[in-house]
A and B are shown apart, each in its own frame.
Chain A
């Protein structure tokens, strides 16, 4: 019941918002967003306290991997909903109906992805996440957002189409063994699956869902989309949507690991991971726009996630922990970037001395820089360190060295832009530019990022027992070992 409610409540609310006459016009039903977000997180919390039984004949269940992604999505959504209260006082979207409806539909689709045990159902949910977000990218309806939406739709749709083909390949590999495309049955019969079809399925699902994750070289839509979408939408995409896409890759990895084909999958995962790190390191240098910078940072972290998976051993645990850290940190950074864009018009290198004009946001931005680049004492340091340890344990010192070089370059590239914006002399007041006078920053706009920052900081020191347990069980399912 609770599992069904998690998908149904946001879906029904989204349909009501999109269809009802009362929600026409620019006004956003923000109270409704808050209520649904709160109810969703409350239900998710109850899943941690009292684990639910699978529902719909085993089609949906909250296993450790899915529960991790679901909780991450739910937390980010509530934080975003709170942020929207402050956001709407300064900005009015063209259509309140599309804005709220799209967000709620995204929450429903992401919940379906997280809970799905049937891989075709997972696909339907994944495609629905793409579609629910597209109108949000298009919210400003100018030339640039039009171009971004088009690229996003075409590249993601082709990617996800390949994932559908991969899903059918998996059904071919399964034949008559157990219930078709249900994860527990696939894993139980993993060693009897047809190996040629399983390999083909893995490759197509990796490329398909990898496109949605934004792994290089399928990342081309990412900087444009994150750059043009409203920051809070980019935050949800970089934090929650990419995690859902990673879940798709993780699901097929579970089957491949159970089938004993790890030696086939691991080099492929490592290759995509290293390529993503390399692309991110190349394009981060000299980047002038905060959101595009964060997009390349997202490419980097997606690369780290599949690297951890590919390295195996403690790497799988590192990936799971990194999934949580990256999701929270991306939400934090994009919301702060949104604050800067709201106050100054654009979060790019044209800004100077924000530490004086927007002290709270600027401080959070600098802290976020250290968190996102994996510096201690933040959680990312721990997860990146675990992935590095997996590289050394597996006898791949060159991979570890490559990761370290890429991380160093990315740190320099990100620090150059962030510190350039935060420090220095504020420009003379012109137009929307504010000069050196500190602006009163709305509590609604700062509270969410502060909460996310606190969690990421805590995860650097202390991982709560239940979370550690769930992450460990997820890593074991992915063929890894306990840390």
Chain B
């Protein structure tokens, strides 16, 4: 099981880098869905023995992160008739280089953080790398919808770190966190929808009326 978990974690990093490199909104969301599915596998692969807790966390994660949110974002693109290109502020090659840098940085930081009884040496560095890459997507993409994707990648990074604590965080809380994220993205999606109708574009750099 341990090897399987490591392979999944490496695939998570690859999905991060793929999202950084893609120029089309639809493949960006597909990458996010794939990442959500990988995240859903992890609780079962990491748990020392299969438990109801790990299984239900896996099911909840797949439903929210791999099905519901990507489906909702796809709906928002179609309904708001968004143009399908991503329009980055930093180019795709440069973003991927930033991503590679983030991965290196994450491994450097993780090697200095002591976590007693850690069974999965890759979990913390992959979590930090995903967190940083989510932040890169959030800050270097113009479209509001892609910024939502960035926020979700950032949340995925935190979710990965949370997996080191599955024993100590009860299921109810995890359910609450998933629900919060779901509602948050739902509201963001509605706002994105209105931004598109109001400004005829999902470009959040056009939101500049308010300033001092």
Q: Which of B113, B167, B173, B187 contacts A135 (CB 8 A)?
A: B187
Contact digits for A130-174, partner B, Cβ 8 Å, 1 yes 0 no: 110011001001111011111101100110010011001001101
> Among residues 135 to 157 in chain B, which have CB atoms less than 8 Å away from a CB atom of chain A?
135, 138, 144, 147, 151, 154-155
CB pair A131 B187 closer than 8 Å = yes
* Chain B residues near A20 (CB-CB < 8 A): none
Shortest Cβ distance from residue B197 to the other chain A in the assembled complex, whole angstroms = 9
| B52 is an interface residue with CB less than 8 A from chain A | no
Contact digits for B150-168, partner A, Cβ 8 Å, 1 yes 0 no: 0100110010011011011
CB pair A118 B210 closer than 8 Å = no
* Chain A residues near B162 (CB-CB < 8 A): 164, 168
Interface size on A, residues (CB 8 A): 46
> Among residues 100 to 149 in chain A, which have CB atoms less than 8 Å away from a CB atom of chain B?
118, 120-121, 123-124, 127-128, 130-131, 134-135, 138, 141-144, 146-149
* Chain B residues near A154 (CB-CB < 8 A): 138, 147, 151, 188
| Alpha-carbon distance A164/B174, docked complex (angstroms) | 11
Shortest Cβ distance from residue A300 to the other chain B in the assembled complex, whole angstroms = 15
Interface centre among A123, A161, A287 (most CB of B within 10 A): A161
> Among residues 8 to 25 in chain A, which have CB atoms less than 8 Å away from a CB atom of chain B?
none
| B204 is an interface residue with CB less than 8 A from chain A | yes
Q: Which of A124, A135, A146 contacts B195 (CB 8 A)?
A: A146
Q: Which of A158, A168, A171 contacts B151 (CB 8 A)?
A: A158
Interface residues on B, range: 35 or more
| Alpha-carbon distance A168/B154, docked complex (angstroms) | 15
| Alpha-carbon distance A143/B206, docked complex (angstroms) | 11
| B79 is an interface residue with CB less than 8 A from chain A | no
| A254 is an interface residue with CB less than 8 A from chain B | no
| A48 is an interface residue with CB less than 8 A from chain B | no
* Chain A residues near B115 (CB-CB < 8 A): 172
CB pair B158 A165 closer than 8 Å = yes
**Given known contacts A121-B173, A172-B164, A181-B169, A161 and B158 CB-to-CB distance under 8 angstroms:** yes
| Alpha-carbon distance A157/B199, docked complex (angstroms) | 23
| Alpha-carbon distance A172/B167, docked complex (angstroms) | 11
CB pair B168 A228 closer than 8 Å = no
CB pair A165 B161 closer than 8 Å = yes
CB pair B183 A131 closer than 8 Å = yes
| Alpha-carbon distance A246/B151, docked complex (angstroms) | 24
Name B180's closest neighbour in chain A (CB-CB).
A127
* Chain B residues near A151 (CB-CB < 8 A): 207, 210
CB pair A153 B165 closer than 8 Å = no
Q: Which of B135, B191, B204, B210 contacts A227 (CB 8 A)?
A: B210
Q: Which of B169, B180, B183, B204 contacts A150 (CB 8 A)?
A: B204
Shortest Cβ distance from residue A297 to the other chain B in the assembled complex, whole angstroms = 14
CB pair B131 A143 closer than 8 Å = no
CB pair B164 A168 closer than 8 Å = yes
* Chain A residues near B151 (CB-CB < 8 A): 154, 157-158, 161
CB pair A143 B164 closer than 8 Å = no
Given contacts A118-B173, A127-B184, A180-B165, 6 further A-B contacts (CB under 8 A): A127-B180, A138-B194, A153-B191, A157-B184, A158-B154, A292-B212
A contact residues vs B (CB 8 Å cutoff):
118, 120-121, 123-124, 127-128, 130-131, 134-135, 138, 141-144, 146-151, 153-154, 157-158, 161, 164-165, 168, 171-172, 174-175, 180-181, 194, 196-197, 223-224, 227-228, 283, 287, 292
B contact residues vs A (CB 8 Å cutoff):
113-116, 131, 135, 138, 144, 147, 151, 154-155, 158, 161-162, 164-165, 167-169, 173, 176-177, 180, 183-184, 187-188, 191, 194-195, 198-199, 204, 207-210, 212
- A sample of 29 inter-chain contacts (CB < 8 A) reads A124-B173, A124-B176, A127-B177, A128-B180, A131-B180, A135-B187, A138-B194, A143-B199, A143-B209, A144-B209, A147-B210, A150-B207, A151-B207, A153-B191, A154-B151, A157-B151, A158-B154, A164-B158, A164-B177, A165-B131, A165-B158, A165-B161, A168-B158, A168-B169, A171-B165, A172-B165, A180-B168, A181-B169, A292-B212
A-B complex: 6 closest residue pairs judged by Cβ atoms: A180-B168, A124-B176, A147-B207, A127-B180, A224-B210, A120-B173
